[in-house]
Chain A
């Protein structure tokens, strides 16, 4: 919980978003989410080209324990998915089997998608910074 990076923003549903350009952002799930899930066994997201609004389901992650939805922290169009980390497009039957990357490095190599954002600057105001996110986790664990 102490290694929540300060360079990005967090949602209540445990996704992070890292701006990587004016209208471009990387999205992933937090270290806390990964801890709670256990071993991630499958992760699919909506197809490249799909447009999602902030708060909408962008994909689904499965572990040995549970199936959970992943929500878009900001609105945008999916322009890239992290196939090297084992992320697949919904409905496809491909699987590359490297999901350990997400468990082991959720804030780095284990990113999930890149979005071309629509209104990032405004939408980031509704998210938490690292400090606020850590505070929320502390409350949740009480």
Chain B
């Protein structure tokens, strides 16, 4: 199994490990629920070095990325954008964040489980269409940590000379003799930063110092709860190569006014409305819907759950899944079958938490 350069530090901090996409990663240090609440209310700290990091450079880099990404990545250097990569049939190959570093230099952060697949795909597109681009997998040359939560600016500022960075923007920041890419992004719904170090020792030092300051080291357990509370998809679980952006309700990152791989298939599919659409559901109690649970409206089977857990922020079970089109009105009463027993759930808007109190859009206190 692969390990990140921070593995020994995680052991020292008491992490329980789990296998994820071939990596041995912290699942939790003490409690996933406490870690989740620390991120929502204060600040948490994640090693996300397992995520794939690719650099894309060269004269054709923009043209190349515009063809593989559904979103418009012709953005100013210093900005980043969430996008999908589709196959020729309009199915989702991965969801990613593209950073424009310089005019002809991009960084793409991809799902750990999709890294090899996406590298192969990009290499194939590059070769088939003779693009003059340089692709490099820098996953093993860099360390990526995420500092997430309403107090993340305050904590990070005490360790490095943090300039003002707006959401979905990034800057290079000096830390000792390293140039660290600091990005105001994350996968928790909260305000926060993701930092990419070249020097693993410095990454470890920053991680340790933040933990010593009281920032909660948090594992994949908390990360999964946080992203689900925020209504964010997990690739491979909530969507895959057979899911279109239409079904996954991710069309907001599809730009039909440009050419991209999968566009034709997607336009054909748009002629017929989809049978199922991704929707959020919430339980009336602490009982949670679970991945694989079937959904029923009255006695009719109307969909299935792809992610489900207990939300410590909301205090009830939450989930997302695919529901027959027409039933996605918030408040619609449905039932989820969890190990032969029914639990009552209602269709819910996402994020599941009150966005005036939690999340990066919260009112400043």
Q: Which residues of B contact A42 (CB under 8 A)?
A: 285-288, 310
Q: Do A38 and B32 form a contact, CB below 8 Å, given A64-B225, A64-B310?
A: yes
A69 contacts the other chain (CB 8 A): yes
Is B32 in contact with A67, judged by CB distance below 8 angstroms? Answer: no
Q: Which residues of A contact B32 (CB under 8 A)?
A: 38-39, 64
For the complex, give the distance between the alpha carbons of A39 and B28 in Å. 10
Is B221 in contact with A65, judged by CB distance below 8 angstroms? Answer: yes
Is B339 in contact with A64, judged by CB distance below 8 angstroms? Answer: no
Q: Do A41 and B285 form a contact, CB below 8 Å, given A64-B225, A64-B310?
A: no
- Which A residues from 51 to 88 make CB contacts under 8 A with B? 60, 62-67, 69
Q: Which residues of A contact B339 (CB under 8 A)?
A: 60, 67, 69
Q: Of residues B16, B27, B33, B225, which shows the largest number of chain A Cβ atoms within 10 Å of its Cβ?
A: B33
A interface residue count range (under 10 / 10 to 19 / 20 to 34 / 35 or more): 10 to 19
B341 contacts the other chain (CB 8 A): yes
**Interface of chain B: mostly helix, strand, loop or mixed:** mixed
- Which B residues from 67 to 94 make CB contacts under 8 A with A? none
* CB nearest to A63 among chain B residues: B310
Q: Which residues of B contact A62 (CB under 8 A)?
A: 286-288, 310, 317
B355 contacts the other chain (CB 8 A): no
For the complex, give the distance between the alpha carbons of A66 and B288 in Å. 9
For the complex, give the distance between the alpha carbons of A5 and B309 in Å. 31
Q: Of residues B224, B287, B312, which shows the largest number of chain A Cβ atoms within 10 Å of its Cβ?
A: B287
For the complex, give the distance between the alpha carbons of A103 and B225 in Å. 19
- Which B residues from 106 to 145 make CB contacts under 8 A with A? none
Q: Do A39 and B341 form a contact, CB below 8 Å, given A62-B288, A67-B290, A95-B286?
A: no
For the complex, give the distance between the alpha carbons of A125 and B10 in Å. 43
A141 contacts the other chain (CB 8 A): no
For the complex, give the distance between the alpha carbons of A69 and B28 in Å. 23
Is A41 in contact with B221, judged by CB distance below 8 angstroms? Answer: no
For the complex, give the distance between the alpha carbons of A38 and B29 in Å. 10
- Which B residues from 24 to 46 make CB contacts under 8 A with A? 27-28, 31-33
Q: Which residues of A contact B285 (CB under 8 A)?
A: 42, 93, 95
B338 contacts the other chain (CB 8 A): yes
Is A60 in contact with B341, judged by CB distance below 8 angstroms? Answer: yes
Q: Which residues of A contact B33 (CB under 8 A)?
A: 39, 41, 64
Q: Do A67 and B338 form a contact, CB below 8 Å, given A39-B31, A42-B287?
A: yes
Q: Which residues of B contact A63 (CB under 8 A)?
A: 310
For the complex, give the distance between the alpha carbons of A41 and B341 in Å. 17
Is B287 in contact with A38, judged by CB distance below 8 angstroms? Answer: no
Q: Which residues of A contact B31 (CB under 8 A)?
A: 39, 103
What string of 1s and 0s marks CB contacts (under 8 Å) between B280-319 and chain A? 0000011110100000000000000000011010000100
Is A41 in contact with B338, judged by CB distance below 8 angstroms? Answer: no
Q: Which residues of A contact B338 (CB under 8 A)?
A: 67
Nearest Cβ on chain A to B125's Cβ, whole angstroms: 38
Is A38 in contact with B288, judged by CB distance below 8 angstroms? Answer: no
For the complex, give the distance between the alpha carbons of A7 and B188 in Å. 45
Nearest Cβ on chain B to A105's Cβ, whole angstroms: 15
Q: Which residues of A contact B288 (CB under 8 A)?
A: 41-42, 62, 67
Q: Which residues of A contact B310 (CB under 8 A)?
A: 41-42, 62-64
For the complex, give the distance between the alpha carbons of A103 and B30 in Å. 11
For the complex, give the distance between the alpha carbons of A125 and B249 in Å. 56
Q: Do A66 and B290 form a contact, CB below 8 Å, given A39-B32, A41-B310?
A: yes
Q: Which residues of A contact B312 (CB under 8 A)?
A: 41
Q: Which 4 A/B pairs are nearest by Cβ-Cβ distance?
A: A41-B310, A42-B286, A39-B33, A64-B32
> What are 12 pairs between A and B in contact, CB < 8 Å?
A35-B16, A41-B310, A41-B312, A42-B285, A42-B310, A62-B286, A62-B287, A62-B317, A64-B221, A64-B309, A65-B221, A67-B287
Chain A interface (Cβ within 8 Å of chain B)?
Answer: 35, 38-39, 41-42, 60, 62-67, 69, 93, 95, 103
Q: A38-B27, A42-B310 are in contact. List 12 more A-B contacts (CB 8 A).
A: A39-B28, A39-B31, A41-B33, A41-B288, A60-B341, A62-B287, A64-B221, A64-B309, A64-B310, A65-B221, A67-B288, A67-B339
